[in-house]
Amino acid sequence: MLKLENLKKVYDGVTILENINLNIEDGEIISILGPSGCGKTTLLNLILGIAEADGGHIVFNGQDITDVPMEKRGFNIVFQDYALFPNLNVYENITYGLRNNPGISTEEEVQELIELLGLEEHLNKRIDQLSGGQKQRTALARTMVMKPKILLLDEPLSALDGVIKESIKDKIRAIAKDYNLTTIIVTHDPEEALTISDKVLILEKGGISQYGKPSEIITHPENPFVKKFILNQLEIKRNNIYMLFANTMLSQQEVSA
Ligand SMILES: Nc1ncnc2c1ncn2[C@@H]1O[C@H](COP(=O)(O)OP(=O)(O)OP(=O)(O)O)[C@@H](O)[C@H]1O
């Protein structure tokens, strides 16, 4: 279990995060959701160990890791821009981390991941020959072969369009559930957060606005911010789709009249 206890972060005298208290169970998919500048990436960086906390504790499986350096935490991140190596092909990218740590995954385990992520036919391609979804799956495979204890994903779907987005969502869920891997996702999109996660952490101005299952957030928004930020956006999307359908039906009726 990952526990965040009273976590605090200050940049240049400004408090960015405060009173962050949270329990994340093993194998759960958690989304950190909130508007631009609310502290999502900062929280991800604190968990990963890129940034140091200015107060509070991070406890992983009973051990206080607040002062444990990033490389010793054993967590791993897929960055928003994937950060793949352009001079290596897909297979070389996936297995790059194993060059210096060959025992972490066997060739069989690497092949399993390649299959799970549907990358078999792309292994010899250069990175610039891949679509956005293929790059994202390569980045996921490269991170997963290192068997992270926690998988962190920074806006994993934001660069992808509709159908691809849904397929990557399925892959992320399959990985988290097949490997019982705690997965923490940063997103600013309520629909994404509510459809991919077991629980959603909604941040507002550096504090927790609500933390709960998607169904709880939809049925019991705890405050006006959640109602306004989350539910309004979803309602607008729903209404747009209804309008589109209604207009389409109307024009079809006009044609057949
Ligand atoms: N290294 C840093 N030094 C100073 N201020 C920082 C640093 N990193 C982040 N901040 C500030 O902390 C606040 C939160 O930033 P953060 O990147 O965590 O927000 P976010 O919710 O991820 O935003 P976005 O959705 O736009 O990426 C912002 O006001 C930002 O300017």
Residue 147: both structure tokens together: 């068997």
Distance of CA 37 from the midpoint of ligand 1 (Å): 5
Task: Give how far the C-alpha of residue 146 lies from the chain's centroid of Cα atoms, to the nearest Å.
Answer: 17
Give the integer Cα–Cα distance in Å for 53 and 57.
Answer: 8
Q: Ligand 1 centre and the CA of 47: distance in Å?
A: 15
- Report CA(67)–ligand 1 centroid distance (Å): 21
The ipTM of this complex is: 0.97
Strands laid side by side in the 75-78 sheet: 75-78, 150-154, 182-187, 29-33, 199-204, 207-212
Cβ 7 vs Cβ 54: under 8 Å? no
Question: Atom 28 in ligand 1: which residue has the minimum CA distance?
Answer: 37
CATH superfamily of 2-74+148-223: P-loop containing nucleotide triphosphate hydrolases (3.40.50.300)
Any residues with CB less than 8 A from the CB of 86 and at least 6 apart, and which?
126, 127, 128
Task: From 142, 79, 150, 84, select the one nearest 113 (Cα to Cα).
Answer: 142
Per-residue model confidence (pLDDT) at position 223: 94
Q: How many CB atoms within 10 Å of residue 61?
A: 10
Q: Whose CA is nearest to atom 13 of ligand 1?
A: 37
pLDDT along the chain (257 residues), means of 10: 97 96 96 93 96 97 96 91 92 94 91 92 96 91 93 88 84 89 94 94 94 94 90 79 78 74
Please state, in angstroms and rounded to a whole number, the distance separating the CA atoms of residues 77 and 186: 11
Nearest CA to ligand 1 atom 31: 37
Among 9, 10, 40, name the best residue to mutate to test ligand 1's pocket (greatest count of ligand atoms within 8 A of Cβ). Answer: 40
Scanning the structure block, which residue is given the tokens 């550096």? 206
Q: Which atom of ligand 1 is nearest to the CA of 45?
A: 18
| 122 backbone dihedrals φ, ψ, rounded to 5° | -110, 0
Does an H or E element contain 112, and which? helix 107-116
Nearest CA to ligand 1 atom 3: 11
Question: Cα–Cα distance between 140 and 85 in angstroms, integer?
Answer: 14
Residue 36: enclosing H or E segment and its boundaries?
none
Is the separation of the CB atoms in 31 and 198 below 8 Å? no
DSSP letter for 89, please: B
Q: What pLDDT shows up at residue 225?
A: 93
DSSP single-letter state for residue 41: H
CA of 16 to the centre of ligand 1 (A): 8
Strand partners, 20: 7
Within 6 A (CB) of ligand 1 lie: 11-12, 16, 34, 36-42, 188
Name which residue sits closest to atom 2 of ligand 1, judged by CA.
11
Residue of the nearest CA to atom 16 in ligand 1? Answer: 39
pTM over 0.95: no
Instruction: Please give the distance, rounded to the nearest whole angstrom, from the Cα atom of residue 43 to the centre of ligand 1.
Output: 10
Could you tell me whether strands 14-24 and 2-11 are parallel, antiparallel, or unpaired per DSSP bridges? Answer: antiparallel
CA angle in degrees (0–180, nearest 5) for 85-128-124: 75
Q: Where are the domains of the chain?
A: 2-74+148-223
Degrees, nearest 5: CA angle 47-49-51: 100
